Amino acid sequence: MGITTLWITPVLKNKDYHGYCTLDPTMIDEGFGTNEEFRELVNEAHKYDIKIVMDIVINHLCAPDNTT
C-alpha cells in the first residue's frame, strides 16, 4: 500500500474522550491499551519501515480531579 507513517490520535492517559486533556504524559490511556502494547505496535511498525507519529497536545495538560 505504500504506507510509510501512521499518525496516532492522542492516546496518552487523559481526562476526556478525545485526548486533549492529558493527565499523565508517560502513560497510554487504558482505553487504547497499555504502554507495553504501544511499544509492540511501534516495534512491529518499525519492522516494516513504518514510522509512528503521536499526536501529543502539550498545551492541554490537565490536573487530576483530586488536586488543587
Q: What is the pLDDT of residues 28-66, one digit of tens each?
A: 999 999 999 999 999 999 999 999 999 987 777 887 776
Indicate whether 64 belongs to any domain.
no
Indicate whether 12 belongs to any domain.
yes
Kind plus residue range of the DSSP H or E element containing 25:
strand 22-28
* Domain boundaries, position 28: 5-52
Q: How many domains does the chain have?
A: 1
Q: What is the pLDDT of residues 10-30, one digit of tens each?
A: 999 988 777 788 898 899 999
Indicate whether 34 belongs to any domain.
yes
Q: Is the pLDDT of residue 68 over 70?
A: no
Indicate whether 39 belongs to any domain.
yes
- Can you give the pLDDT at residue 51? 98
Other CB atoms within a 10 A radius of the CB of residue 62 amount to 14
- Can you give the pLDDT at residue 66? 63
